[in-house]
Amino acid sequence: MNKKRLFELFIVTFVFLFLHVSTFTNEKFNDKLGSFTFFVLFLMFYISSIMSKRINLTC
């Protein structure tokens, strides 16, 4: 996975983080989307951390 793909994954993860926070602040959608967005957010963060270790990104 190259750096462009990793950046795209980071952007999508950030969007899901925003969706996750907005579902927890809204009680009506908390039951439906809260756990799903948390699972997707955790999965994407896990994939991005594995891929960043694999391509050895150092700042």
Output the tens digit of pLDDT for each of the chain's 59 residues. 577 777 777 787 777 777 767 666 666 555 666 677 677 777 877 877 777 677 665 54
pLDDT score, position 5? 76
Q: Measuring CA to CA, how many Å separate 23 from each of 7, 9, 38, 44?
A: 24, 21, 10, 18
DSSP string over the chain:
--HHHHHHHHHHHHHHHHHHHHHHHSHHHHHHHHHHHHHHHHHHHHHHHHHHHHTT---
Q: Which amino acid is at 46?
A: Y
pTM: 0.46
Per-residue pLDDT at 40? 76
Distance CA 46, CA 30 (A): 23
Predicted confidence at residue 8, as pLDDT, reads 78
